Amino acid sequence: MLRNDLSELQRLAGWIQGWSDASVVSSDVSFAVQLCLEEAVANVIMYGSPKGDPLEIAVEVERNDGALVALIEDNGRQFDPTKVPPPLPAASLDDAKIGDVGIHLMRSFANDMHYERRDGRNRLTLRFVESQAGASPAE
Amino acid sequence: MDIAVEEIAGGITKVGLSGRFDTTGAVVVELPFNKIVTEKHRILVDLSAVNFLASYGIRVLLVGAKIAKAKDGKLVILCPENNVAKVLKTAGTDSLIPIFQSEGAAAEALAAS
């Protein structure tokens, strides 16, 4: 299951990268979307297994009003990443914990993060504003 | 993801990673990377050819640095100013592992250790 989902993520990342190559979105936005999706889906795979049913993860990305909006929906156990507190900076290498780095990265690279639980599914929405000044992808 | 090892001047082992340092890539290089940091003393991890970095990749780097430290060795990162560097900075990795933008500066820091 893990392998299948991760290879799907590679395919999705390739598709998003394709947008960037075709100048539909900037490479920075493409990077941010790929990173957040990688973190969100990896979290679901590692922590989200539902009891009994196979884990289902659906990812949708659409363009909306000068922003890319990604929705990650899964049938795993309830998990709200927006409620996870930011990790405390480690004082030294020995103290370093890797635990919540993924969620922290999502918060930092997405402009907006929203969670809801609906019909037994987690729905995580991430918003990425495309840069206003300078490069216009439509050109 | 690929990993290439080169011994350079100053008793430094340069570990060149290339490709996507995502969860899949990190799993691929994890074991060979850990082996290198266990055996070598001065490790320069070159991320110049890495075009993506996710938290599992950061985990591999941190574990590597911890292993090196436990063996009285030193590990530094070479990474140009780009989105990969931004991930490292956001995760606070730069306060735990020295990160340099030029190989010269990285090698100098290792030679001094």
Model pLDDT for residues A5-58, shown as the tens digit of each residue:
667 777 878 888 887 788 788 899 999 999 999 999 888 888 777 777 788 888
Can you read off the two tokens belonging to residue B78?
């070479």
Residue A120 · residue A53 · CB < 8 Å: no
Q: Name the pTM for this structure.
A: 0.90
| Contact between chains at A89 and B97 (C-beta distance less than 8 A) | no
| A136 in any annotated domain | no
Among B89, B19, B96, B79, smallest CA distance to B45 is for B79
To the nearest 10 degrees (0 to 180), the angle between helices A27-47 and B83-90 is 50
Domain of residue A41, CATH code: 3.30.565.10
Q: What is the helix, strand, coil percentage profile of chain B, to 5?
A: 45, 30, 20
Per the model's pLDDT, the better-predicted residue between B14 and A55 turns out to be: B14
- B91: nearest CB among A27, A28, A101: A101
- How high is the pLDDT of residue A109? 97
Model pLDDT for residues A67-125, shown as the tens digit of each residue:
999 999 999 999 999 999 888 888 788 877 776 799 999 999 999 999 999 999 999 99
User: Residue A4: is its pLDDT beyond 70?
Assistant: no
* Structural domain count of chain A: 1
Closest chain A residue to the Cα of B64, Cα to Cα: A93
Tell me the DSSP string of B2-26.
EEEEEEETTTEEEEEEEEEESHHHH
| A74 in any annotated domain | yes
- How high is the pLDDT of residue A95? 78
Would you call A60 helix, strand, or coil by DSSP? strand
Among A5, A28, A4, A1, smallest CA distance to A16 is for A28
| CB contacts, 8 Å: B69 with chain A | 93-94
Model pLDDT for residues B17-74, shown as the tens digit of each residue:
999 999 989 999 999 999 999 999 999 999 999 999 999 999 999 999 999 999 999 9
User: Can you give the residue ranges of every domain in chain B?
Assistant: 2-109
Q: ipTM of the assembly?
A: 0.93
| A137 in any annotated domain | no
- How high is the pLDDT of residue A1? 32
Question: Could you say which architecture CATH assigns to the domain B2-109?
Answer: 2-Layer Sandwich (3.30)
Suggest the residue from A25, A100, A101, A109 to mutate for an interface test with chain B (most B CBs closer than 10 A). A101
| A101 in any annotated domain | yes
In single-letter form, the type of residue at position B89 comes to K
| A138 in any annotated domain | no
| A25 in any annotated domain | yes
Which positions ≥6 away from A38 have C-beta within 8 Å?
Answer: A9, A13, B22, B23, B54
- What is the span of the domain harbouring residue A82? 2-129
Can you read off the two tokens belonging to residue B35?
């082996």
Model pLDDT for residues B71-86, shown as the tens digit of each residue:
999 999 999 999 999 9
Give the whole-angstrom CA distance, residue A25 versus residue A58: 22
| CB contacts, 8 Å: B22 with chain A | 9-10, 13, 38
| A20 in any annotated domain | yes
Give the whole-angstrom CA distance, residue A50 versus residue A134: 45
User: Residue A137: is its pLDDT beyond 80?
Assistant: no
Q: What is the DSSP letter of B95?
A: G
Which position has the token pair 């592992």?
Answer: B97
Q: What is the DSSP letter of B43?
A: E
- How high is the pLDDT of residue A136? 43
| CB contacts, 8 Å: A84 with chain B | none
| A18 in any annotated domain | yes
- How high is the pLDDT of residue A2? 38
